[in-house]
Amino acid sequence: MSRCKACDVIMNEYELKRIDRVTGDYSELCSNCLSASTEALREDSPMHTILEKLDNPLELLADLEG
């Protein structure tokens, strides 16, 4: 049993075996988090635009958790 590095959900068999095409390592993210991460990295995505405007994106996450 392994958990997603981003959201700590228990990953299924497919997610555990998924290999990152860039690094060649196991992804370590569940499908939902991998999808959100990919979306945020796309330069034409609204999430990329939002993150680009923030000085420290981690502050936004801390505010959401608090």
Q: How far apart are CA 54 and CA 36, in angstroms?
A: 17
Average pLDDT over residues 10-31: 93
Q: How far apart are CA 11 and CA 4, in angstroms?
A: 6
- State if pTM tops 0.85: no
Count of all residues that appear for the chain in the document: 66
Predicted pLDDT of residue 61: 67
The answer to whether residue 4 scores a pLDDT higher than 70 is yes
Predicted pLDDT of residue 57: 67
What mean pLDDT, rounded, does the chain reach? 84
Predicted pLDDT of residue 30: 94
Within the chain, what is the greatest distance between any pair of CA atoms? 37
**pLDDT, tens digit, for every residue of 45-65?**
777 777 777 777 677 666 666
